[in-house]
Structure 1
Amino acid sequence: MAKACFGMIVSLDGFINDGAGKLDKLYESFEPNEEINEVMAKTGAVVMGRRTYDMTDDSDAYADDYEFQVPIFVLTHHPPAKHPKENDDLSITFVTEGIETAVRKARAAAGEKDVVILGADIGQQALRANLVDELQIAIAPLLLGTGTRMFEHLEDMEIHLEKIRTMESRRQVEIHYKVIKPS
């Protein structure tokens, strides 16, 4: 069965974007390598929130050059009026019924491959609903000081983790943790 992985690049001080909402400073240190490509190849579907989906200026660009050419499930209250372009590998489904439905649909689409959950708010919703099996955190070598925190609204939760993998490139470290489910 597909495992659900909440993963993002984060600054050392815990931000997933800068104060202006931009990601480019974080991605300056991203260097794909064989290990990272292997993890990406195991992805069968993506769940993201509407803010993450809207970060591109052209939603049709997902079909043309998005790094994950798999089914995408966008959790939103308001689907766009115009459906974006799709291709043989990438479809986009707007889900309005909540995080549980989005992850369930993504798991079904992924088959034996993994589901990647993107976006701080969506990831936190999935953690609160006990839907995350693994955290995949790439740590960029910078301190932003401000922006959106990856784990801003989990103050009333205690989540136990077990380190299962560490990947290192010349410029950043990526750590994978298994989420220990409450008994």
Structure 2
Amino acid sequence: MGKVSFGLIQSIDGFINDRNGETRKLYASFKPNDVILATWENIGAVVMGRNSFDGSEDQDPDAYADSYEFQVPLFVLTHRPPEKHPKENENLTITFVTDGIESAIRQAKAVAKEKDVVVFGANVGQQLLRAKLADELQIAIAPVLLGQGLRLFEHLEDLEIYLEKVRTIETEKQVEIWYKVLHE
């Protein structure tokens, strides 16, 4: 069975967006190399929060079917599914999950089969870590200091999570560190 991995790109000072909620400065340096692209081939499903799914206000939800980098089933954790269901295609389906992170991961693992499930979004990732459902943590570090914004690991003050470094991948402008989550 595949792994459940939580991954995001953050600034060197730990923010996943800037003071205005934008992520462009972080992703400006992201250029996946062959190693990263090879790991993407083993992704069988994506779980994300509604904020990540909605992205910016000018993003059309139908665009996922046309241009999202992971053409696999998407599971969007939310309290408020949209009135109009977004466009899908033969590879990318969208399921809005309203009954919690455990349900979203269970559904994603079922469709991913032997492939990996990747989780995006700070809040959903924090829920994943709290529920002890993460097998790996993948952190890309962008070469920027933002000073303010949303921190990746906010609201986990009462947890101690131990990690073991699995690998480090260097791209032209950034570093990705992959950790195994050690469950006690």
Per the normalisation by structure 2, the TM-score is 0.98
Residue 83, structure 1, aligned to residue 92, structure 2: no
2:18 is aligned with what amino acid? D
Per the TM alignment, residue 2 of structure 1 is displaced from its structure 2 partner at its CA by 1.9
Runs of 4 or more consecutive aligned structure 1 residues displaced over 4 Å after TM superposition:
none
Query: Using the alignment, how far apart are the partners of 1:50 and 1:120 within structure 2?
Result: 11
Query: Using the alignment, how far apart are the partners of 2:94 and 2:172 within structure 1?
Result: 34
Structure 1 residues 123-182: Cα deviation after superposition (integer angstroms, max 9, x where no partner): 000000000000000000111011110000100000000000100012100000000011
* Aligned counterpart, 1:24: 24
In structure 2, list runs of 5 or more residues that go unmatched. Answer: none
In structure 1, list runs of 5 or more residues that go unmatched. Answer: none
* Aligned counterpart, 2:65: 63
Residue 52, structure 1, aligned to residue 49, structure 2: no
Query: Using the alignment, how far apart are the partners of 1:31 and 1:53 within structure 2?
Result: 21
* Aligned counterpart, 1:137: 139
Query: Using the alignment, how far apart are the partners of 2:81 and 2:171 within structure 1?
Result: 38
Question: Residues 139-178 of structure 1 correspond to what in structure 2 (within 5 A)?
Answer: 139-178=141-180
Structure 1 residues 79-118: Cα deviation after superposition (integer angstroms, max 9, x where no partner): 0000000000000000000000001100111110100000
1:132 is aligned with what amino acid? A
**Aligned-partner SS, 1:16:** strand
2:138 is aligned with what amino acid? Q
Question: Residues 33-48 of structure 1 correspond to what in structure 2 (within 5 A)?
Answer: 33-48=33-48
2:92 is aligned with what amino acid? L
**Aligned-partner SS, 1:162:** strand
Per the TM alignment, residue 39 of structure 1 is displaced from its structure 2 partner at its CA by 1.1
1:95 is aligned with what amino acid? V
Per the TM alignment, residue 31 of structure 1 is displaced from its structure 2 partner at its CA by 1.0
Query: Using the alignment, how far apart are the partners of 1:38 and 1:15 within structure 2?
Result: 27
Query: Using the alignment, how far apart are the partners of 2:152 and 2:54 within structure 1?
Result: 18
* Aligned counterpart, 1:7: 7
Match of 1:96 among 95, 98, 105: 98
- Paired residues, what number? 182
Match of 1:108 among 110, 113, 124: 110
Query: Using the alignment, how far apart are the partners of 2:51 and 2:125 within structure 1?
Result: 13
Query: Using the alignment, how far apart are the partners of 1:100 and 1:2 within structure 2?
Result: 16
Query: Using the alignment, how far apart are the partners of 1:147 and 1:42 within structure 2?
Result: 31
Per the normalisation by structure 1, the TM-score is 0.98
Match of 2:182 among 171, 180, 183: 180
Per the TM alignment, residue 49 of structure 1 is displaced from its structure 2 partner at its CA by 0.4
2:142 is aligned with what amino acid? A
